[in-house]
Structure 1
Amino acid sequence: MAGKGTPATALLAKAGVAHRVHTYEHGRGAAYGLEAVEALGIDAGSVFKTLVAEVDGTLTVGVVPVSAMLDLKALAAAVGGKRAKMADVAVAERTTGYVAGGISPLGQRKRLPTVVDASAEHLVTMFCSGGRRGLEIELAPADLARLAQATFARIATT
Structure 2
Amino acid sequence: MTPAIKTLEKSKVAFTLHEYEHDPAAPAYGLEAAEKLGCPPEQVFKTLLVAIEGDARRLAVGIVPVHRNLDLKSMAAALKVKKVAMARPEDAERATGYIVGGISPLGQKKRLPTVLDASAEGQASILVSGGRRGLDIELSPLQLLKLTNGSQAPLARS
Please report the TM-score for the alignment, with normalisation by the length of structure 2: 0.96
**Aligned twin of 1:50:** 47
- Equivalent in the alignment of 2:111: 111
Structure 1 residues 30 and 109: alpha-carbon distance in aligned structure 2, compared to 1, 3 A threshold? farther
List runs of 5+ in structure 2 lacking aligned partners.
none
| Structure 1 residue aligned with 2:8 | 12
CA RMSD after TM alignment? 0.6
Distance 2:82 2:44 in 1: 28
Tell me, in whole angstroms, the C-alpha distance in 2 between the residues paired with 1:16 and 1:110.
21
Deviations 1:61-118 (A, max 9, x none): 0000001000001000001101110001001001100000000000000110000000
- What is the alpha-carbon distance in structure 2 between the residues aligned to residue 35 and residue 151 of structure 1? 27
**Percent of residue pairs bearing the same amino acid type:** 53
Who is 1:94 aligned against? Answer: 94
> Partner residue of 2:65?
65
1:26 aligned residue? 22
1:55 to partner: Cα distance: 1.7
What letter is aligned with 1:89? P
TM-score with structure 1 setting the length:
0.96
8 Å CA contact 1:26, 1:134 repeated in 2 = yes
Q: Distance in 2 between matches of 1:130 and 1:72?
A: 24
Deviation at 1:30, TM superposition (A): 3.5
Task: For residue 122 of structure 1, report the CA deviation from its aligned partner.
Answer: 1.3
